[in-house]
Structure 1
């Protein structure tokens, strides 16, 4: 036994030496910058002995127990007497080394000798690293219709593409490859487009030199990165990655491939299990699935063998991968956009919030007082804590007692503009839920709605454990809806109506506040809910910026700069007034004169209420040369009827061009103007008239153009040559009472466009002009005939007989006669509807059948609905891949529908778009090749959510009159069509 024991001693000594040697080696390999932490985590400090008193525990505190360098804002909480937790208000700066120092002055006097744990004295966030790059084929941004190789460089932080460009080098077989970094916005993925051809099968080497900084970090990378990637074969479709994520708080699956894939190809090759409704959105190298996916569940995504990519490559074998959304980062987001500001006080007062992976939230409600609203709104869109920049050291601020200045409302500045009303903690599971949203109810009591101090509310929702996870929203709780109309002269009208009932609110106190926050006027709405204020009266130095309204406990406001309606697309000009308050109408005997002629004019002047001005009112009329200089000026006086006459003699030597006549008051206020032309011209030597033997014709009939030529002041123009060119074109069919219907015909034929793509051929391609020649007889008459081709189903055509008769000198005299050709007995129309419709909802189609005279008739129509799909085929030309896009039509419905006379017919097709995309509804006579079409774009609810679009504060009102023209004294009946029920002002 002793021998065996002694024989093992050398082995034990060797193991001891190895252990002793390994320990210094591990210490040498340790990071001198300390432990690595996640930018989004809380920090926990464990002390060896008790530090905190019982009354300091289990509550968040702004006392700065630990000082960080660079500075980090946040709050502290003692979980126990020796465990301190720090929660940052914003994530820790990326790729940054931090040092922590315990502040003894923040501790009790008997605990000031306590020191921080060694593992927390120095730490760092993950260093900037380039992850595995990937190559794929995409559409070229430089040469349209071509494909190019692209490389994605993923980083663990956002970087600036401009910083990557000088540090990056791409080679193949040792030779440099020209490239260009695409995009300018910082991001975690930088895309590089290769500007020259690369060989599949030979790897690319991507080298990134040290010196790159992440956005928000001042610490540059200290290591060189070099990665090799394979160039994908364009003839083989490969799946690069499949990942689940939350996009705007909605689950989505992203599938990346090595070349583009169209949704048309995916329809039959893609399956998801368990089955859910989803929509597909194409990416430059893959696609995204959005729809009814749920967080916490796993889904199996499968692609069948044979799936074809945009380059023609095929998937070699079936592909299946499981995706889940359980490991997503926690998020909090309001459902409504920032522009949605007003909440009806008489409603349920619920705010929708999307909350994921958060157990408890703290809801803080603050009030900004009325006199500070403008200051709050002018702060812009920044709110919360600002991102650190390279020039800022963190912006740490502390008071004399060592406490942080709480900047949780830095954007809103509640401390200086208002007060916090309430702070409550809610369990997310206990909040109401509807359509995937958590409902946060605002109590009138918590809002101090009946209190005397009024204002705007700020609602902040914050994770109780992660101070940086927070979102804020401006909310105005009121039932008073305001509409403000400002006139150019300074008059302002305020309309107050109930948001809930749209009824006018009388007795509402209105205050008008200037842009420099001064109350420049007050008023009260009358029984119609209208208050008027003249901003020009004694307020020349002030500009109206805000309107406040209060009725009892209800208070609201309207900021004019944020709520202005853009009117440039509407005809809102109307009659323009002038300083004299007169309107004038100027007319003459003609618009064209020759040198030596006399210009005769007459002017009628009226007041703005259409009364005649006082007799003998002095006025002036002047004639301006084409150069703008005054040629002549006359002083006149109005007659008892409020009019005057004037004439200007043009000498034979006067310059030619466009002259301007202006009418002014005696003190030079311009009332109206008119332009006339002075030109040298030779009158025609003969008079030519032409007319057709019938005004309306049908295909197959003959049209005769009858010509009569007469010499002016002489005998008939006998033996004069003439030419008649017959032409046809499509005539717009616009029957009365059917203004919201479309009757435009589509030829049904296609042709190559200017860029090689197939486009719809116009009807004009079917028409050819025909020329007839002849000579007038002794009576100056001539006839030219034209046989109308046997056209069918082309609607109503407008024919023209363009006639040219030559006088004895060969000078032409032109005249035109028109006629109508009816190619079909019944014209079908489709009622126009919104271009954007929802998937999963019935598509309404209303039809009309009219005679060429515009009268309703009974007929049978063929209705076809097609889905328009685009397929991209790539061809190899000259060493590059060229895209060739082709449109394919998929018929999804084809049905015969009776159309009745005397009423608009609902086709009652029962068609519900199942997929997002472009659809076309076609109506035509059974057997016809032409059709009337209406295009719509169906958009799936799964592709968006309630805050994907800004809330619109505009509603377009259509006004229709019962007559086109009215006589003085008649009454006009106007029909106002509104987008929703309410009150028209």
Structure 2
């Protein structure tokens, strides 16, 4: 059971306690603390009923009672145990409680010990949290309607999955009191629902999201009675901003979520992102940011930093260095396997260790069962059952806690009629070996009865001893035999058997071919190459469904319906033979030519059975124009090696486009073809260099851009017109001796004071002509500004040749607007109010 797929992990697991006493119903009705819906409890927790005196003997440690002492409405499936010397009755549900639901608990007198049948509950009602809107995220994304453009998007984050059809009529969006049009893009229920904003909004101003009352969570029974409100500021598209950095546990694995205001390419971010302390990690692109997966560990703190210069997909650039700490503390307890859900093969000759992600779990109970070979198809086809509890869940009372509809999220494998339980053991989390943030569960061949004559598939179950809903199961095939099957169109199959450890073929293995209804269709033995064949019986009503292999004590299988490779995206049609029964291979010196060049090609011809054709065999090699008409047809003869060389001369006036080369037999049977491109392209005729002097200047000083232009393989380019455009932009500064200091200049609004620099200092253009030596100079007087940090200037020069074709070059220079730069050391963590901070 994967908790993150059932309910959002937004609440801390605490213990809800219900007091019980011998008060009458009238006395309880007069209790002023009684609330209409009772107290709020977390969906992920046990429920404890406290008594003022011992009621029953304490349950032995590690055991749970299946007797139903308390009846819940709606029904909750789970188990009980007595704790604290019989003064507390602890109930642990099989799955997290239903969201946004009011529950009623009643003691069942018939199940209580003798003499305690008159006990009643002081508080019989309790409820899980109602639907809440956590926050709203606003960002830019690539438009799917107009390629190459951006669109403003938003995500609404709820604490439970919500149906888009329920949200759409209740959601309203506004800015400064004016309604804003939007389109809800989400289709399936989810915690996060996305939308596209269809009209222009003002950057820097907040958007108001309002959800009218009446919204209900999926599987919840209580709707909201008050509006849900959230706000988010519209970001600037010109600047790349990191909106949020959070650490969370996803499917049991710690991950770091990096939210940005526009998409970022993984290749651009990878070299500029650092994690301290260093851990191996990978970056995955998300709609609104990036996701970091790797060797992160729960309970540790990490520092994530991004160097300036990263560009977003929409052109925004990160101006200043970003650095923030992230941790994975106080996460909801969870259990999961490190391997993918479909991965089941574990090498029998290896370490035989399963990786577990245990978060907030102190002790687990491990149960291993074997499903026998004759039932493997059944368990793979049925997968997991949807219900709650095990056989004999409620003993002694003869009643069932509902029909199972309330527990539709709890999944387990039905093993009672398909195999046997081999062992059940308890492990403390601290006792399990740990590697790369994973706890390792070792499987012994002796415990698994690996050498027993009855072979099969294993089911490994890991469950928290104190919280029964924390439970995960996995199918494991312990083997060193790797199978690859190729099924023919007539139903036959070819089996390739290799060792997983050495990749060597395995010979002498017994192969059984089973139908989809579990009947043996045939047997075979692998040869020296590890190959076994099955020829289908003509007219047989049976269809091949699974292949099993036994070699000494090892057992393996491959289930064909679940392992089939979809081939629609591959070229699997094979080679189509032609009427001449020849194959031709055509290649050339390159794929791109200019008018006036010569195309050189070589052709190799072979029979279908790879024999070399006789020398002197006539073939035709022809070149087709882009229009499809024949341009040249050469009659050639093969040499003794079955090859022939050809060449085609392209006149300078030939048309450009995509040409086709074809090889045909003497009687015009097409053997092969190849396309080449003929294009007209002209290199630069000028060699241009640009330099800025001086490279380090002060405000109000003059910068000279010096240009030198030379004709390629000729004299200086005299009399050529040129343009030079000067511009200034902010340049981030960092001191090598002060790595933890921030030298950026911030405005009072929290934005960089240099963000509007382009508007304050517009670009200036200078024009001129080169002299007889091909040289030119453009001067730029810097504005007299101060206290703006370090600026970077750019001189972008454009020189035109005799045909008016431009050649561009640029030079940079640095402007220091203050004699000394002041930096503030970054504060290591969060600081409360009224506390001294060392600066």
8 Å CA contact retained: 1:729, 1:798: no
Shift of 1:36: 0.8
**In the aligned structure 1, how far is the partner of 2:240 from the partner of 2:494?**
65
Q: Deviations over 1:845-892 (max 9, x none)?
A: xxxxxxxxxxxxxxxxxxxxxxxxxxxxxxxxxxxxxxxxxxxxxxxx
1:82 pairs with one of 60, 83, 87: 87
Deviates more, 1:244-253 or 1:518-527: 518-527
Match of 1:34 in 2: 38
**In the aligned structure 1, how far is the partner of 2:649 from the partner of 2:306?**
63
Aligned ranges 1:151-300 → 2 under 5 Å: 151-200=154-203, 203-234=206-237, 239-260=242-263, 273-274=276-277, 280-300=283-303
Q: Deviations over 1:13-59 (max 9, x none)?
A: xxxxxxxxxxx9x9889741111111111212212221222455652
Aligned ranges 1:91-102 → 2 under 5 Å: 91-102=96-107
Aligned ranges 1:4-83 → 2 under 5 Å: 31-54=35-58, 58-80=62-84, 81-83=86-88
Q: Does residue 103 of structure 1 match 2:103? A: no
Match of 1:651 in 2: none
**In the aligned structure 2, how far is the partner of 1:523 from the partner of 1:425?**
43
8 Å CA contact retained: 2:457, 2:475: yes
Give secondary structure in 1 for the equivalent of 2:115. Answer: helix
Q: Does residue 540 of structure 1 match 2:540? A: yes
Q: Deviations over 1:330-376 (max 9, x none)?
A: 33332332443333334332222233332222111112222222211
**In the aligned structure 2, how far is the partner of 1:490 from the partner of 1:272?**
54
Q: TM-score of the superposition, structure 2-length normalised?
A: 0.59
Shift of 1:167: 0.9
8 Å CA contact retained: 1:358, 1:428: yes
- The 1:479/1:386 distance shift into structure 2, 3 A limit, reads same
1:401 pairs with one of 371, 383, 397: 397
8 Å CA contact retained: 2:66, 2:393: no
8 Å CA contact retained: 2:347, 2:480: yes
8 Å CA contact retained: 1:77, 1:86: yes
Q: Does residue 464 of structure 1 match 2:469? A: no
Shift of 1:124: 0.9
Aligned ranges 1:305-316 → 2 under 5 Å: none
Gaps of 5+ in 1: 1-23, 388-394, 577-584, 588-671, 673-695, 698-724, 737-763, 765-770, 772-784, 791-796, 801-820, 822-985
8 Å CA contact retained: 1:726, 1:786: no
Aligned ranges 1:573-612 → 2 under 5 Å: none
Q: Deviations over 1:771-812 (max 9, x none)?
A: 9xxxxxxxxxxxxx999779xxxxxx9999xxxxxxxxxxxx
Shift of 1:288: 3.9
**In the aligned structure 2, how far is the partner of 1:531 from the partner of 1:186?**
48
Match of 2:128 in 1: 125
8 Å CA contact retained: 2:596, 2:650: no
Aligned ranges 1:792-803 → 2 under 5 Å: none
8 Å CA contact retained: 1:507, 1:525: yes
**In the aligned structure 2, how far is the partner of 1:528 from the partner of 1:431?**
41
Match of 1:364 in 2: 367
Match of 1:455 in 2: 456
Q: Deviations over 1:705-755 (max 9, x none)?
A: xxxxxxxxxxxxxxxxxxxx986475567999xxxxxxxxxxxxxxxxxxx
**In the aligned structure 2, how far is the partner of 1:532 from the partner of 1:265?**
50
Give secondary structure in 2 for the equivalent of 1:138. Answer: strand
From the CA coordinates, give the structure whose radius of gyration is larger. Answer: 1
**In the aligned structure 1, how far is the partner of 2:126 from the partner of 2:106?**
12
Match of 1:354 in 2: 357
- The 1:731/1:169 distance shift into structure 2, 3 A limit, reads farther
Shift of 1:98: 1.2
Shift of 1:218: 2.9
Aligned ranges 1:695-774 → 2 under 5 Å: 728=597, 731=600
Q: Does residue 322 of structure 1 match 2:325? A: yes
**In the aligned structure 1, how far is the partner of 2:392 from the partner of 2:170?**
34
Deviates more, 1:306-315 or 1:203-212: 306-315
8 Å CA contact retained: 1:57, 1:77: no
Match of 1:558 in 2: 558
**In the aligned structure 1, how far is the partner of 2:373 from the partner of 2:413?**
14
**In the aligned structure 2, how far is the partner of 1:562 from the partner of 1:30?**
55
**In the aligned structure 1, how far is the partner of 2:34 from the partner of 2:90?**
25
- The 1:373/1:153 distance shift into structure 2, 3 A limit, reads same
Shift of 1:550: 3.5
Q: Deviations over 1:121-147 (max 9, x none)?
A: 211111101133343333333333333
Shift of 1:412: 2.3
Give secondary structure in 2 for the equivalent of 1:378. Answer: helix
**In the aligned structure 2, how far is the partner of 1:409 from the partner of 1:519?**
35
Give secondary structure in 2 for the equivalent of 1:109. Answer: coil
- The 1:99/1:508 distance shift into structure 2, 3 A limit, reads same
Q: Does residue 113 of structure 1 match 2:118? A: yes
Q: Does residue 436 of structure 1 match 2:443? A: no
- Aligned positions, number: 575
8 Å CA contact retained: 1:154, 1:189: yes
- The 1:447/1:146 distance shift into structure 2, 3 A limit, reads same
Match of 2:338 in 1: 335
Give secondary structure in 2 for the equivalent of 1:110. Answer: coil
Q: Deviations over 1:634-682 (max 9, x none)?
A: xxxxxxxxxxxxxxxxxxxxxxxxxxxxxxxxxxxxxx9xxxxxxxxxx
Give secondary structure in 2 for the equivalent of 1:205. Answer: strand
Shift of 1:210: 1.3
Match of 2:148 in 1: 145
Give secondary structure in 1 for the equivalent of 2:55. Answer: coil
Shift of 1:398: 5.0
8 Å CA contact retained: 2:388, 2:410: no
Shift of 1:200: 3.8
Q: Deviations over 1:92-122 (max 9, x none)?
A: 1111111112223332233333334x34x21
Shift of 1:193: 1.4
**In the aligned structure 2, how far is the partner of 1:219 from the partner of 1:271?**
45
**In the aligned structure 2, how far is the partner of 1:188 from the partner of 1:542?**
46
Shift of 1:162: 2.7
Shift of 1:545: 2.0
Shift of 1:60: 2.1
**In the aligned structure 1, how far is the partner of 2:275 from the partner of 2:374?**
56
**In the aligned structure 2, how far is the partner of 1:735 from the partner of 1:490?**
37
Shift of 1:85: 1.8
- The 1:428/1:312 distance shift into structure 2, 3 A limit, reads same
**In the aligned structure 2, how far is the partner of 1:355 from the partner of 1:216?**
27
| RMSD after superposition | 4.7
Shift of 1:195: 0.6
- The 1:348/1:308 distance shift into structure 2, 3 A limit, reads closer
**In the aligned structure 1, how far is the partner of 2:271 from the partner of 2:543?**
63
Give secondary structure in 2 for the equivalent of 1:105. Answer: helix
8 Å CA contact retained: 1:368, 1:417: yes
Aligned ranges 1:909-948 → 2 under 5 Å: none
**In the aligned structure 2, how far is the partner of 1:346 from the partner of 1:132?**
50
Q: Deviations over 1:247-305 (max 9, x none)?
A: 45443333334445566876898665555565555544444444554432223445678
- The 1:359/1:175 distance shift into structure 2, 3 A limit, reads same
8 Å CA contact retained: 2:333, 2:360: yes
**In the aligned structure 2, how far is the partner of 1:134 from the partner of 1:524?**
61
